[in-house]
Structure 1
Amino acid sequence: MLSGKTFGGNLHSKRAKRFLTHDMIVEELEGWDEEWLLVFDNYDDTSSFDLNEYIPKLGKGTVLITTRDARLGQDGWKRIPIPEMREEEALRLLLPDTDYNTLPEEDARACKEIVSMLGYLPLAIDQTRWFFSQFNFTSQMREYVEVFNNYKNNLIDAEWGYKRGEESRNWYTTFEQSFEAIASTKYGKLATHILTISAFFGGASLREDFFSAYFEADSRWIQSLGLRDKWDTLYFRGILAELVQRSLIRLENNGRNCFSLHPIIREWLRVRPESRRYDYLSEAVLILVAYTKSTADSSLPFRVQQDLLVHLESFLGDPVVQKKLSFRPDNESEQASLVMTFASVYRTSSHLREAKKLLQGLIEARRESGVADSNPVSIELQIELGETFIDDGEYTEAREHFSSVLKYADKLNRTSHCRTLLGFADTLGARGDFRAAYPMARQAQDLAATWAGVNSRLNFRAIFVLARIQAGLGRLIEVGNLVNGAYDRAYVAFGSCDRTTLEASYMRAGDMMARLDFDTAKSFAEQTLVTSENLNGPDHRLTLNGYISLGYIYGRQGLHSKARNCFEVAKSRAGSLFGGTHADVMVELTIGETYFAEHNYEEAEKQFQSGKNMSEKIHDTTMEVACTVSLFRLYFAQKKFRKAIPMAWVFVQNFPFRFFFRTNKTMVISAAVFGLLLVISGLKGYFMTVVALVSLLLVAVWFLFF
């Protein structure tokens, strides 16, 4: 099995055993010497994505695609038509406990007629088999055929008006019989209601937690079906067992009470006349919203995140939901809540482009309709969008939104005020303006601790922002106190498998690196990276940050090749996360630094120049200056002074003298003492000695406390 193979043989790729991206699979298969088989199952919607992106171009492999779209076979692929189930196989499935050859001749002919009517479809035959076992039709095959035909003609032709091929009509008839049988059980209305709602989600797994979260948010839906006002897990399991017994759902082994529907079952449920499309789809959306809100402070496993994305994409592709997301002044609050909930699903899974698209679309629609930015709902949307820009490394855009929100500070509630201060301070810190960012971040952290509590996620976020700004100011002792305290509290409050704890872990590893404890920092960062990959997947923002953190540690140890490998992994996986942002330039710059340290000046220049061009393209002046400074150092080291001189002033203007002095206090103070003593020894007179000693004291106080 591919996911059980160790990737690449190096330290980092071994972590890809459990969760893989298609890029990782393609790259790995192209490097295998042995033969391989890659299967794409149920590729029916050929317009949904380009399959060629998922197929290796090299290697000794074979690709097998199963599809119901006959057009795919016209694109140069070798087409292998799959024959229908043979009559003998179909009869064995229909009568697993009966020897067909022992049946009376009339019943034998009836069995053949049944499997033929069902088009030899295994799922439909299995449904009929269940009917045989429940209603003892085994000895009355001809009677069942008559009942079946009457049911189909009356139901589908008269009531549904549904025009499909004969086989499809036969399949749906068997499903409808099972559906009515369930309605007559003790689970009755609730079982059929849950089954029908499930068809309006995407094709991924569904969980009991979806429905229980909706129940906690609004129990009226379940009470209207005649049940008690308390969620009953055992009762829900009974419903699933009943549906499984009739082959209407299949249980998944990836979590608590998870299940999914066969695509044909989903299609049948969606076209039933009783399946009021608008009502059931709207309720499915509400269920997803309720679950998302109930887990807002939790770290969802990678598989659950992927399932949510499938359901969300299914909703967003439906005209009914698209209409709900279109701006309407009469329902702006509910609409904004829906958009922010969907955006949060994308943010949690690090699909930041999609999150930005949703938020920006609604903000622009509101502005075009004349809604002022000072509107409370507009303010919340801008804060959410600003935080998404920060996640994506687009600090300039984020700063514009937070600056706009701060104009209406008197209209902000406590949480919004704190989030806005944090966001603005974070963007100032990314620009290198730490002195302006510090008081704002300090105020936000004090507010978060007071209003939300010291163990709230908002307070932890404030601590992380404040620690980064303190590090920029060179206050490493304060950074250590903040980071270590935050990690200890987050571990106790949320456990190790949580995004807040993971962020605290990376910052703690950075603090250890700053203290030159590289071995401990590396071990800590590696453990955190493993946890993040298992929890969030290989291309999540936190996982990529882990590779970058580990790369910095390797770089400080002089292991530049390993450092570059880490940065390259982050770069290759970040295509769906960043894509032309501050973070991309940073990765280009750090890769260039590893080449520079190895005296590979040609490759270093390519990386620095690439970062500079990218920063100019996205108008990121901070990273443009950083790349220019790196190019100056590179040209100076090569003694290419003609190229270096034009960049000298940029280097002098932006060299972090303040940070250098703060992080090298012992060396700077020792040099100052030595220099002053030389001056004193050459001077005569009491007055000059006093002046020199006072100057020495002022220098010491400045570097120690400011």
Structure 2
Amino acid sequence: MSDLGARASGQGRIFQTSGDQYIEEHHHHYDAGAGGPLFGRRLVSSTTAGPDAPDSVRMPLVGRVPGVLRNREELREVLGAAVAGPGGEVHVVHGMGGCGKTALAYWLFTEAVRDRSRVGFWVNASERMSLRAGLLAVAGDQGAAAGELAAAAAGQRAAADLVWHYLDRSSEPWLLVLDNADDPTVLEDGAWLRVSTRGTVLVTTRHATSTLWRVPGVRRHALGLLPLDDAAQVLCDLAPDAGDLESARRVAERLGRLPLALTLAGSHLAHQLLESWSMDEYDRKLGEESTAIVDGGAAGYGGSQSRHLVGQTWQLSLDALAGQGLPEATALLRLLSLLAADPVPLSLLAPVARGDIVAEGLQPAWTAAKLEPALRALLDHSLVELVDADGTRCVRAHGVLLDSVAARVPEGQRSVLTAATAELLEAALPEEGAETPDTVGRLALLAPHARSLLERAPSERSAALAVRTVRQVFDAGEFAAALELAPGIADRCETVLGPLSRTTLEARHTEAMALNRMGHYAESEALHRSVLERREAVLGPDDPDTLRSCYGLTWPLFLTGRGEEAEHWARRALDGQRRVLGDEAPETLYTWTNIIELLPYVGMEEEFEPEAAELLSVCERALPPDHLTTVVARHNYAEGLRVLGRYEEAEPLARRTLADYVRLQGADHPLSLSALCLKARIAHGLERFDEAVAVIREVIERRERVLGVEHPFITANREYLTEWQAEAQS
């Protein structure tokens, strides 16, 4: 772990989107060139992570919005005046899910940009990560430097202060929309929600009573259901040939005048192929109460009736598909409802299509021949959409739909669906210990779904799966992403399994490791000690997990200057692993490799050379070629030689190590950056000052992009640069 840096994941896929949005309408036509089976081609996961920032903050990244915004005249007048004026206000529009808050925000955004010459910013505020990423992108738009943004993203400076510093100094008036802020806690007690004389803030939320909405400068506006005539007109706008205004009134009343339900119903009526229901026929179908997918409602979010009716609207499409001989479409949508509202790789479903996985007890049973038509049917009925995620073909369903479906999965099928979903995710994850640059994109796509399965279907298996996923994200070098995931997963595991379960403790252990890699040494040490204490009490002092806690405690101690204490814990881990796992077990050897790094720092120079030579010999004999532990052993041997001033011996070993890391894990992996730093320090030791300065500049530039300007490694690297530049000039 010599001078080891961490790399912020840049995984936009690790967060999930929720909240009420309009569903975008897609019509799929499969010609001879594009009509091949969805699973009949090779699916390639992205080899690199996408950026944290959304694709745009200058455009409303929402789905389908109405061509005509019905009603809301009074509120539109108030909001229109706000963007026409000098600014300095926050407007909070609250209402039940699906009532049209996003559509209203879209109208105001267009009005502000097109007619009021304001700069418009649109940020998805449904989750902490999407809010943070979006607002940092706003700061970047307004002139924040890459180093400032990286520091904020890595937690090295106050992110909200940075964003509002640039918004308050904007050269142009602006409108900032924070859409779907349904959980006000993501606003961090108001740190992200402020008043500025340079612009107007609009918040859309289901939450009507947050104390954040009751502070000076914030105005609240309730958004309810549409009046009946306007609701009926929405249906007529979307399906003008399905019936007259009187028929539309009856359907609109039955749908509770909820804009989302009206939009879905109108789209369904307008785009039927095999049947052509009129408004009256649709009203009769709704009256039959033939739905199993209903939602009991969420406290404070608008009650059960509208959710029930929205569920009916979706269920009508599923009933129609069942009538066409495709009941598997319902089963597939129920499976998707256990996952996140993020892109689901088609490769995740491929084992079912191939017949490799069969969900025993599921009614109707899946078959390879039925899955593809079921998926195409969901696409055709706009219940899911086909999307591309960094080159990987995926399907995605609307979050409100998934919530509705998940809430009412029949109890007799929930355990079967949960087991099938877990099996699919387990099969889709890379093999443990085989994390490479090629698997980072796959992990980014799968991590939100593993977390969602734990949330929607908590069990020992789903908890173990979520913990395995976050551990693999960490092992892939995506330390910032692991730190985003681990606390929430650990909290959920603690609720489901208790604080002393092996799975919960593994989640906390991963959180502690990620804290250390991201430079939060004191927090890492405290959490490692807590996990170690609990593991010793529950599992015993020689359990492999307890010994891994001993090893984990080594690094926050070492990196805060307590080398002798660090060496003590590392030796305890190594001695125990030799007894329990064996002298040549990979985990034993990995702990030994890191002890080699400690020896020159704790006054054990004489032990260093023979122990390092013995370790390398054992690694090369006991492990496969190119095993990462062997490469780390060479790295730490080279680092020890450097510390002892034996630069000529260290240099070829360090160059080989760097080449191996780049080949095996990619040029931007934290280990590769650590080896690059070692190369610079050896060049300095050999008094090749110009080379040392050039390489350390590269290290600083690359680490700043992924760690932030205030990470301890960056601070040390800058000190090297200052010293070496002075030496080069003397």
TM-score by length of 1: 0.61
2:250 is equivalent to residue 113 of structure 1: yes
Residues 325 and 339, structure 1, Cα contact 8 Å, conserved in 2: no
What does residue 248 of structure 1 align with? 383
What does residue 403 of structure 1 align with? 571
Structure label with greater radius of gyration:
1
2:642 is equivalent to residue 501 of structure 1: no
Change (3 A) 1:295 1:504: farther
User: What are the equivalent positions in structure 2 for 1:14-93 lying under 5 Å apart?
Assistant: 23-24=158-159, 26-31=161-166, 32-34=169-171, 35-47=173-185, 50-55=188-193, 60-72=198-210, 73-76=213-216, 77-82=218-223, 84=225
More displaced, 39-48 or 394-403? Answer: 394-403
2:147 is equivalent to residue 147 of structure 1: no
| SS of aligned partner of 2:314 | helix
Change (3 A) 1:56 1:220: same
Rounded to whole Å, the distance in 1 between the matches of 2:518 and 2:357 is: 29
More displaced, 35-44 or 342-351? Answer: 342-351
More displaced, 20-29 or 483-492? Answer: 20-29
Structure 2 counterpart of 1:3, from 117, 129, 137: 137
Structure 2 counterpart of 1:479, from 650, 666, 670: 650
User: What are the equivalent positions in structure 2 for 1:80-229 lying under 5 Å apart?
Assistant: 80-82=221-223, 84=225, 94=235, 98-99=239-240, 107-132=244-269, 133-134=271-272, 140-152=278-290, 155=292, 164-181=303-320, 189=328, 192-202=330-340, 204-208=342-346, 219=357, 221=359, 226-227=366-367
| CA displacement at 1:488 relative to structure 2 | 2.1
Change (3 A) 1:412 1:156: closer
Residues 180 and 205, structure 2, Cα contact 8 Å, conserved in 1: yes
Residues 343 and 356, structure 1, Cα contact 8 Å, conserved in 2: yes
Q: Larger relative contact order (C-alpha < 8 A, sep ≥ 6)? A: 2
What does residue 629 of structure 2 align with? 458
| CA displacement at 1:338 relative to structure 2 | 7.5
Structure 2 counterpart of 1:298, from 436, 444, 447: 436
Residues 33 and 59, structure 1, Cα contact 8 Å, conserved in 2: no
Specify the code of the residue in structure 1 equivalent to 2:265: T
| CA displacement at 1:448 relative to structure 2 | 2.8
2:401 is equivalent to residue 262 of structure 1: no
Rounded to whole Å, the distance in 1 between the matches of 2:511 and 2:313 is: 37
Residues 358 and 366, structure 2, Cα contact 8 Å, conserved in 1: no
Rounded to whole Å, the distance in 2 between the matches of 1:443 and 1:244 is: 60
Rounded to whole Å, the distance in 2 between the matches of 1:503 and 1:436 is: 24
What does residue 367 of structure 1 align with? 536
Residues 557 and 563, structure 2, Cα contact 8 Å, conserved in 1: yes
User: What are the equivalent positions in structure 2 for 1:354-433 lying under 5 Å apart?
Assistant: 363-369=532-538, 371-380=539-548, 382-383=550-551, 399-408=567-576, 409-413=578-582, 414-429=585-600, 431=602, 433=604
Rounded to whole Å, the distance in 2 between the matches of 1:289 and 1:393 is: 40
What does residue 616 of structure 2 align with? 445
More displaced, 165-174 or 296-305? Answer: 296-305
User: What are the equivalent positions in structure 2 for 1:293-372 lying under 5 Å apart?
Assistant: 293-294=430-431, 296=433, 297-299=435-437, 305=444, 308=447, 312=451, 315=455, 321-322=493-494, 325-326=497-498, 363-369=532-538, 371-372=539-540
| SS of aligned partner of 1:78 | strand
What does residue 73 of structure 2 align with? none
Rounded to whole Å, the distance in 2 between the matches of 1:393 and 1:237 is: 59
More displaced, 393-402 or 75-84? Answer: 393-402
Specify the code of the residue in structure 2 equivalent to 1:458: T
Change (3 A) 1:406 1:487: closer
| CA displacement at 1:202 relative to structure 2 | 4.8
Rounded to whole Å, the distance in 2 between the matches of 1:545 and 1:7 is: 28
| CA displacement at 1:416 relative to structure 2 | 1.8
Rounded to whole Å, the distance in 1 between the matches of 2:372 and 2:151 is: 34
Rounded to whole Å, the distance in 2 between the matches of 1:197 and 1:174 is: 19
What does residue 28 of structure 2 align with? none
User: What are the equivalent positions in structure 2 for 1:645-684 lying under 5 Å apart?
Assistant: none
Change (3 A) 1:372 1:122: same
Change (3 A) 1:548 1:438: same
| CA displacement at 1:173 relative to structure 2 | 1.0
Change (3 A) 1:306 1:290: closer
| CA displacement at 1:418 relative to structure 2 | 0.6
What does residue 720 of structure 2 align with? 552
| SS of aligned partner of 1:151 | coil
Change (3 A) 1:127 1:375: same
Residues 293 and 409, structure 2, Cα contact 8 Å, conserved in 1: no
More displaced, 110-119 or 390-399? Answer: 390-399
| CA displacement at 1:67 relative to structure 2 | 1.0
Specify the code of the residue in structure 2 equivalent to 1:151: E
Question: What are the ranges of 5 or more consecutive residues in structure 1 without an aligned counterpart?
Answer: 561-706
| SS of aligned partner of 1:257 | strand
Specify the code of the residue in structure 1 equivalent to 2:398: H
Residues 554 and 570, structure 2, Cα contact 8 Å, conserved in 1: yes
Residues 226 and 257, structure 2, Cα contact 8 Å, conserved in 1: yes
How big is each residue's C-alpha offset from its partner over 1:66-122, in whole Å with a ceiling of 9 and x where there is no partner? 21100133344221334556778756764566546xx75xx4322233234334444
Q: What do you get for the CA RMSD once the two structures are aligned?
A: 5.2
Residues 593 and 629, structure 2, Cα contact 8 Å, conserved in 1: no
| CA displacement at 1:483 relative to structure 2 | 1.4
Rounded to whole Å, the distance in 2 between the matches of 1:531 and 1:301 is: 19
| SS of aligned partner of 2:206 | coil
Residues 387 and 423, structure 1, Cα contact 8 Å, conserved in 2: no
Rounded to whole Å, the distance in 2 between the matches of 1:499 and 1:239 is: 43
Change (3 A) 1:309 1:144: closer
Rounded to whole Å, the distance in 1 between the matches of 2:684 and 2:267 is: 64
User: What are the equivalent positions in structure 2 for 1:625-636 lying under 5 Å apart?
Assistant: none
| CA displacement at 1:169 relative to structure 2 | 1.0
**Percent of aligned pairs with the same amino acid:** 17
Rounded to whole Å, the distance in 2 between the matches of 1:241 and 1:392 is: 57
Instruction: Report the structure, 1 or 2, having the larger helix content.
Output: 1
| CA displacement at 1:477 relative to structure 2 | 1.5
Rounded to whole Å, the distance in 1 between the matches of 2:414 and 2:178 is: 31
User: What are the equivalent positions in structure 2 for 1:613-652 lying under 5 Å apart?
Assistant: none
Residues 148 and 173, structure 1, Cα contact 8 Å, conserved in 2: yes
More displaced, 259-268 or 5-14? Answer: 5-14
TM-score by length of 2: 0.59
| SS of aligned partner of 1:422 | helix
Residues 683 and 692, structure 2, Cα contact 8 Å, conserved in 1: yes
Question: What are the ranges of 5 or more consecutive residues in structure 2 without an aligned counterpart?
Answer: 1-57, 59-135, 456-487
| CA displacement at 1:244 relative to structure 2 | 4.1
